[in-house]
Each structure stands twice: as structure tokens, then as C-alpha cells.
């Protein structure tokens, strides 16, 4: 079973690296005004297929070895984490699609997205580190960081609702991207929430 668990762990870590790169590329492409939809779509599809492979291997290990305690919690968590990484790819692709929908966005104020994007990137990195190291203290930081991304998104929506002279294309495109970043931050938090479950069997309540 140890060989199977190690293979499962390595597959999840491969997904972690790819999902982190996919999100970063999507955010950077938006800021730089580059159309990288095809590349990001390919990566998102690769993540989706890897998620299926992780699930299949996890089920096989459970059926063959009937693991218990922390091993079983780790296997179940790998399935959850793989789903989270796959969602990173999906939302990254959604971000890249915004340029395809709205075209040139070079005149738009990108500050809110830069701020939320930087926070989301850091959250992904920390969630991966917490999962890899089974670091409960590090995992606990993600919820507070998630609140920052939520706040940025809600503040932008409230501000936009009261402004009459904003460029509609800029407002709508930024709202969509901030919403996708908010969901990425949520899934980074969910990845981190698997850490205390793996270590002690405890699950933090979700918002």
C-alpha cells in the first residue's frame, strides 16, 4: 500500500504545480493583455484528466487494501484536493475567456484584480505547502486570507453599483474576474481544510 500512497501523493503534487502555474498564467495574461486561452484551456483539460486518474487510483487503493485511520483520511483528502486543483484550472480558463468576450481591456483599471490575484496566488501556494507538510497552523491562515479576497470582490461590486460614469465593459469584465478569483480563493481554503482532517480527523466548518 505504501507504493500506492506514494504514487497518489506524487500525482496530487503534479496537479498542484500545474494548477498553480495555470492560475498565475491566466492572471498575468489578463494584466498584460495577452490572449493565452488555448494554452490555459489545454492545461485545464489536463488537470481535469489528472483528477480522474487520482480518483481512480484512490478508489483502487481503498478497495484493495482497506486502509484505516490517517491513511484513509489522506486518500479521501487527495480526492478532494485533486478536485480543488481541477477547479483552479477551470476558473483560470474562465479568466482567460474574459478577453475573448470583451476584447481589448487595456484602458481598464486593473488594480483590484492585481490585488485579489496576488492574494489568490499566495493562497494557492500556501495551501499546497500546508497540504504537503501537513502543517495545521499554516492551513489556518487561509481562512483569513480568503476574507480579504471576498472583501475585494464585494467592495468592487458595491462601488460599481453606485458609480454612473464607469466604462461598462471594464466594470463587467472586472466583476467576472474578481468572482473567479473569489472562487479560486475558496477552493484554496478547502484544500487547506483537509490538513487538520488528515492529521486528527477534525473538519473545520465551511462558510
Residue 110 belongs to a domain: yes
Q: What is the mean pLDDT of residues 87-115?
A: 94
206: in domain: no
Please tell me the total count of domains within the chain.
Answer: 1
- For 122-132, what is the mean pLDDT? 97
Express as a percent the part of the chain with pLDDT over 70.
Answer: 97
Mean pLDDT of all residues in the chain? 94
Top pLDDT among 192 and 161 is at: 192
Alpha-helical regions (H) of 103-135: 111-133
Give per-residue pLDDT as tens, 170-181. 999 999 999 999
* Residue 205 predicted with pLDDT over 70: no
N-term to C-term CA, the chain: 35
Provide the whole-model pTM. Answer: 0.93
- 205 in any annotated domain: no
**Among the listed residues 180, 176, 199, the one whose alpha carbon sits nearest the alpha carbon of residue 188:** 180
Q: Which residues make Cβ contacts (< 8 Å) with residue 156, sequence separation at least 6?
A: 112, 174, 175, 178
d(CA 36, CA 29): 7
| 77 in a structural domain | yes
CA distances from 32 to 25, 29, 100, 108, 138 (A): 10, 5, 14, 12, 32
Q: Give backbone dihedrals phi and psi of 19, rounded to 5 degrees, phi first.
A: -65, -40
Least confident of 86-90, 187-191, 202-206: 202-206
Say whether pLDDT at 207 is over 80. Answer: no
- Is 207 inside any structural domain? no
Assess if residue 142 is contained within a domain: yes
Q: What is the mean pLDDT of residues 115-136?
A: 96
State which residues form the domain around 54.
2-200
Residue 164: is its pLDDT beyond 80?
no
CA 45/CA 156 separation, integer angstroms: 31
Residue 76 inside a domain? The answer is yes
CATH number at residue 75: 1.20.58.220
Kindly state whether residue 92 falls inside one of the protein's structural domains: yes
Count of CB atoms situated within 10 Å of the CB of 153? 22
Amino acid at each position: 500500500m505504501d507504493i500506492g500512497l506514494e504514487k497518489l501523493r506524487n500525482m496530487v503534487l503534479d496537479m498542484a504545480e500545474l494548477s498553480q502555474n495555470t492560475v498565475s498564467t491566466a492572471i498575468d495574461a489578463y494584466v498584460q493583455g495577452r490572449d493565452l486561452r488555448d494554452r490555459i484551456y489545454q492545461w485545464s483539460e489536463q488537470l481535469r484528466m489528472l483528477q480522474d486518474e487520482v480518483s481512480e487510483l484512490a478508489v483502487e487503493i481503498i478497495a484493495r487494501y482497506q486502509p484505516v485511520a490517517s491513511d484513509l483520511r489522506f486518500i479521501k483528502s487527495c480526492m478532494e484536493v485533486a478536485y480543488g486543483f481541477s477547479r483552479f484550472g477551470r476558473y483560470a480558463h474562465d479568466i482567460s475567456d474574459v478577453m475573448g468576450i470583451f476584447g481589448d481591456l487595456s484602458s481598464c483599471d486593473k488594480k483590484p484584480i492585481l490585488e485579489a490575484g496576488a492574494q489568490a496566488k499566495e493562497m494557492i501556494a500556501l495551501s499546497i505547502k500546508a497540504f504537503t507538510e501537513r502543517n495545521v497552523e499554516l492551513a489556518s491562515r487561509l481562512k483569513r486570507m480568503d476574507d480579504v479576497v471576498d472583501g475585494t470582490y464585494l467592495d468592487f461590486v458595491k462601488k460599481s453599483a453606485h458609480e454612473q460614469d464607469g466604462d461598462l465593459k471594464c466594470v463587467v469584465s472586472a466583476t467576472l474576474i474578481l468572482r473567479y478569483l473569489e472562487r479560486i480563493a475558496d477552493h484554496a481554503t478547502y484544500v487547506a481544510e483537509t490538513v487538520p482532517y488528515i492529521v486528527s480527523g477534525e473538519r473545520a466548518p465551511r462558510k
